[in-house]
Amino acid sequence: MNAHLNAVAVNLLGTVEHPGLGDSPYRVDADGAPYVPVGDGGLVLGLELGDSVFALDGDHAAPGACLTHSDEAARHALVLYSCIGNGAEVRTGAAAGARGAVIGKRGEHGRVIVGFRASELARMRPGDQISVRTRGQGSRPAWLPAGVTMLNLDPDLLAALRISPAEATVSVSVRMVLPSKLAGNGLPGDGQDLRLGDLVAITDIDARYNMGYRRDWVSVGVTGHGSSPLPGHGPGITPILTGPRTLLAAREDRHDHAGLTAALLKLQ
């Protein structure tokens, strides 16, 4: 069953980014009002896995530290190789020795979101170096159908996230199943009870090489950051499974779904 789970691990280094602003500290929301994009990158405190993605007054806020790298090629490697559930360790600064785990990724120039205990995150600063033991890209459990692709996920999290074989298909529990028309620069807020760490399935989306429309397809991802006041923007997911809907069965569970939690990642 687990013959293909022993993926190669690679130790990489990232730096906690400092949030950046352009010529103006403001952005313009969907109603034309200016706002300051608090929470967009860097270190975000007071936000945890399990919190609502719509409750915080912030912009794409992620529950942890956003990592990047000053060298473009190294940043690409860091973002590509890192997988949800990979272990991380602070190597410099007041929180040196603290251990965390990758909880997602973000767009723009590429960021890796790493979760830590709240007390450890509070001691960290932009510029701190964090090593990530990347593992999982290219890994395929023996039972995974040939038409389904797994990506961005540490193989050890498969069972914990309720991803399992079901006859000739893959069964996965998600908070909700959404249509592809809601996917763009994020999922817009429409009163849905969506939380950080939730698994979400999006129909008619192929995420193997990019997020593109493909009829009768489904992609499953982990919600990694919160909503945004920007028009067309919203919470973002990191895809972990994609394939034809005949092979990838997403079971919607709006009441008992657990998803990615701090307890699961040992961040409590």
Averaged pLDDT, 122-144: 96
Token reading at 206: 């192929």
Averaged pLDDT, 125-141: 96
pLDDT digits (tens, 9 = 90+) for 151-185: 999 999 988 999 999 888 999 999 999 998 877 66
Domains by residue range for the chain, with CATH: 9-135 (2.40.10.170), 149-252 (2.102.30.10)
Whether residue 7 has pLDDT greater than 80: no
- Measured CA to CA, the distance from residue 228 to residue 185 in angstroms comes to 10
Whether residue 25 has pLDDT greater than 70: yes
Q: Is 77 helix (H, G, I), strand (E, B) or coil?
A: helix
In 3D space, the residue among 245, 237, 221 whose CA is nearest the CA of residue 148 turns out to be 245
Averaged pLDDT, 64-85: 97
Task: Give Cα separations from 190 to 38, 54, 228 (angstroms).
Answer: 22, 9, 13
Q: What is the pLDDT of residue 188?
A: 56
- Tell me the β-bridge partners of 34: 28
- Measured CA to CA, the distance from residue 162 to residue 153 in angstroms comes to 13
DSSP 190-255: SS---BTT-EEEEEEEE-SSS-EEEEEEEEEEEEEE---SSTTB--EEEEEEEEETTTEEEEE-TT
Q: What is the pLDDT of residue 56?
A: 79
Are 225 and 196 spatial neighbours (Cβ–Cβ below 8 Å)? yes
Binned at pLDDT 50, 70 and 90, residue 6 comes out as low
Token reading at 30: 């969907």
DSSP 90-110: E-SSTTTT-EEEEEEEETTTT
Token reading at 3: 């013959």
- Measured CA to CA, the distance from residue 267 to residue 7 in angstroms comes to 24
Whether residue 3 has pLDDT greater than 60: no
If one counts every other C-beta atom within 10 angstroms of the C-beta of residue 63, the result is 29
Q: What is the pLDDT of residue 1?
A: 38
HSE of 262, CA atoms in CB hemisphere, 13 A? 15
- Measured CA to CA, the distance from residue 222 to residue 200 in angstroms comes to 6
Binned at pLDDT 50, 70 and 90, residue 186 comes out as low
Whether residue 210 has pLDDT greater than 90: no
Please state the pTM of the whole predicted model.
0.93
pLDDT digits (tens, 9 = 90+) for 28-48: 998 999 999 999 999 999 999
Whether residue 190 has pLDDT greater than 60: no
